[in-house]
């Protein structure tokens, strides 16, 4: 059984799995293959591989990157790459560098346009874009706010829709270019997840555009995907010749691991990840 979407304490701020506990839990759960996919960093890959060797579970090196394509925000998974490859380390660093640069620019521009930013001083550090967006929504009655939006989602929605270019994360095409140079595979994470402005379920036009950019696979199996969504993305994977992946996206011991039948996941077969289970 496998789980190809897991986070360790290397994921900044919001994951609590230690490598040792995660590897031991995976074995107890009956898993034989897992993947390290921390957000925007690969520093947790080597510790999880070491823990996997100790406990007897194969670990695939990976990373989950914040990204955008076609005016939408996506999470992009990269698998089977050297976690110390300079090009990939630079790509991970660019996520944070661009975010902080965009946030600093917004802190200058928004007040000059008459917007109030509420609560940033309380942070005691340079804010990121999401934190500026939250401050924007707290301090202003924003047009286009959707019922049910929290402040962060409302602010981000405004920035993305009303101020194009306010936030300029990595483009999926950039990630694909670097990953393919390093012989890695690129998978669109949780394409059916619905989480406000941060996750709008991908339709066929989105998938077709990403395939044109070089996408290798879809994370078909995900905890919040409905059976209808699984079938939809399986069908698209077959239509566009994409690999199929899946995982739990577990960040904490309170979130159960997936236990997927390897027969469902083509990411591990053929031109997939066979043999790419250790650091080079």
pTM: 0.90
Dist CA 191 CA 207 (whole Å): 9
- Which DSSP letter does residue 174 get? H
What is the pLDDT at residue 274? Answer: 56
CA atoms of 125 and 245, how far apart (whole Å): 38
156 Cα distance to chain centroid: 17
The per-residue pLDDT for 4 is 97
In which region does residue 146 sit, left (phi positive, over 0), alpha (psi from -120 to 50) or beta (all else)? beta
Fold type of domain 2-92+169-268: TIM Barrel (3.20.20)
Residue whose C-alpha is closest to residue 74's, from 244, 182, 207, 184: 207
Which residues of the chain register pLDDT less than 50?
278-280
The H-or-E segment that residue 129 falls in is helix 129-139
Q: Check: CB of residue 64 under 8 Å from CB of residue 75.
A: yes
Tokens standing for 119?
Answer: 């609560």
Predicted local distance difference test score (pLDDT) of residue 272: 66
26 within 8 A of 18, measured Cβ to Cβ: no
The phi, psi pair for 228, rounded to 5°, reads: -65, -40
Domain ranges of the chain: 2-92+169-268, 100-162
Would you say how long the chain is, in residues? 280
Give residue 13's pLDDT: 79
């Amino acid at each position: 059984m496998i789980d190809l979407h897991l986070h360790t304490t290397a994921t900044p701020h919001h994951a609590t799995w230690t490598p040792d506990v995660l590897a031991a839990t995976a074995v107890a759960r009956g898993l034989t293959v897992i993947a390290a996919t921390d957000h925007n960093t690969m520093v947790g890959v080597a510790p999880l591989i070491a823990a996997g060797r100790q406990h007897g579970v194969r670990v695939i090196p990976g990373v989950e990157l914040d990204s955008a394509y076609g005016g939408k925000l996506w999470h992009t998974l990269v698998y089977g790459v050297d976690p110390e490859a300079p090009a990939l380390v630079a790509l991970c660093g660019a996520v944070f560098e661009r975010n902080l640069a965009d946030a600093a620019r917004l802190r200058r521009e928004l007040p000059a346009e008459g917007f109030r930013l509420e609560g940033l001083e309380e942070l005691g550090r340079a804010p990121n874009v999401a934190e500026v967006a939250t401050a924007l929504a707290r301090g202003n009655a924003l047009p286009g706010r959707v019922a049910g939006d929290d402040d962060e989602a409302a602010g981000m929605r405004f920035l993305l829709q009303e101020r194009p270019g306010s936030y300029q994360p990595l483009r999926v095409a950039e990630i694909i270019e670097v990953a393919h140079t390093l012989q890695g595979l690129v998978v669109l994470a949780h394409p059916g997840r619905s989480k406000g402005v941060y996750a709008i379920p991908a339709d066929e036009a989105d998938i077709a555009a990403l395939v044109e950019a070089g996408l290798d696979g879809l994370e078909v199996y995900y905890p919040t995907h409905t059976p209808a969504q699984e079938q939809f993305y399986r069908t698209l994977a077959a239509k566009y010749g994409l690999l199929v992946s899946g995982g739990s996206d577990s960040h904490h011991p309170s979130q159960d691991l997936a236990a997927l039948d390897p027969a469902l996941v083509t990411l591990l077969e053929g031109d997939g990840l066979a043999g790419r289970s250790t650091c080079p």
